Homo-oligomer: A and B are copies of this chain.
């Protein structure tokens, strides 16, 4: 008998629709996996097994309602849920029960998904960690801020989960945990009912165990069925180039090995991997992103900063103080820099479908006091481009490292096809 926690979301939905799998059996398998592993991984901020099973049985009683009918999806605890507590990773909101579901959660339910619980987020999706551990080594961070979503998917607790990225909060934890993370084009997935952190940057993203599953979930949330990858047919040979961005010196041996492994697999699969020079406009984008994020956070979290300062972590308090001190002129300059770089970006891509860049500095660092460095994510988030990470290398200690593929704004379908090609090249050429 198949271990149901190994099923892709697509396969699970297919079996449920054809009547060879009940939603209850699938949800029970997920809950059993969570029961076995949660004490180690601590991916869940809130989990209600009975409520999950009740949803499952209701799905079993009704005809297939959408492309995710019966599929369990973990929801990062910065998305409001009317039926589950939502605390945004902060003691200020302990036990808070929103009046409504976030738009994304409503869209999940409309598509038939089951929401078993809320996954751990860092404090307000910033940098102060929650309790989650890396499923491959509990002494290492899972990355953040979507810590619980990345860990839960990588650890087979759920096939899919929602996250958000403001600096590197989807791509980095996915790379650290060894799953696929996909941050679509900025603005494609609605943010209504998500706790805002920095409006210019906040982007809803998804976690899955392969690229087609990530594409399926994003297709539902973005209302863009064309994002789904063809199930049977292969994807065309992509044109991919490595881009050594100005942050390249931060790439540790693990990330260099992951990039080399990706290039080798792509080459063996028939692609000639090129290389492009970063644009002058890319220099300084990491600092611009950090300024914009701190400036906007200090304003978006004005209520918490002014009314509940004592219940903020010292790290967050410090970041908000930095944000308050940033002059509007500095912020405006950073926004203008980003706008120039966005306009110039077509020169960077040239004829390529996607750029191959690091997802993170290396494997997940040891310790749970920090979530790692988003240095390889900040500029792409600011540029609003779609990004996908796919795991391509494992450290001797058993920790995964992903690479990141970056596409053009609005051309997510082309990026996802390239990422799928990389994933398949990897599966067919380097695994036994």
Contacts and interface: CB of A to CB of B under 8 A. Distances in A.
Assembly stoichiometry (copies):
2
A141 to B, nearest CB: 27
B196 A300 contact: no
B199 A302 contact: no
A107 B306 CA distance: 8
**Which of A93, A98, A192, A200 lies at the interface centre, i.e. has the most chain B CB atoms within 10 A of its CB?**
A192
Contacts of A328: 222-224, 226
A101 interface: yes
Contacts of A200: 187
A292 to B, nearest CB: 11
A96 interface: yes
A17 B70 CA distance: 62
Contact of A303 (B101, B300, B332): B101
Contacts of A299: 103, 107, 190, 192, 223
Contacts of A190: 196, 199, 296, 299-300, 302
Nearest to A101: B303
A410 B192 contact: no
Given A299-B192, A303-B102, A307-B106, A410 B96 contact: no
Contact of A302 (B187, B192, B296): B192
Contacts of A302: 103-104, 106-107, 110, 190, 192
A99 interface: yes
Interface string A23-47: 0000000000000000000000000
A310 interface: no
Contact of A301 (B96, B103, B303): B103
Interface in A66-119: 82, 93, 96, 98-107, 109-110
A304 interface: yes
Contacts of A410: 332
Interface in A255-299: 296, 299
Given A187-B199, A200-B187, A100 B303 contact: yes
Nearest to A194: B196
A191 interface: yes
A165 to B, nearest CB: 16
Contacts of A49: none
A99 B101 contact: no
A193 interface: yes
Given A191-B199, A196-B191, A304 B223 contact: no
9 contacts: A93-B99, A93-B100, A104-B302, A105-B303, A106-B302, A110-B306, A190-B199, A192-B299, A223-B299
Nearest 3 pairs of A and B residues by beta carbon: A106-B303, A106-B302, A192-B300
Given A106-B303, A106-B307, 6 more contacts: A82-B303, A105-B303, A106-B306, A192-B299, A192-B301, A192-B302
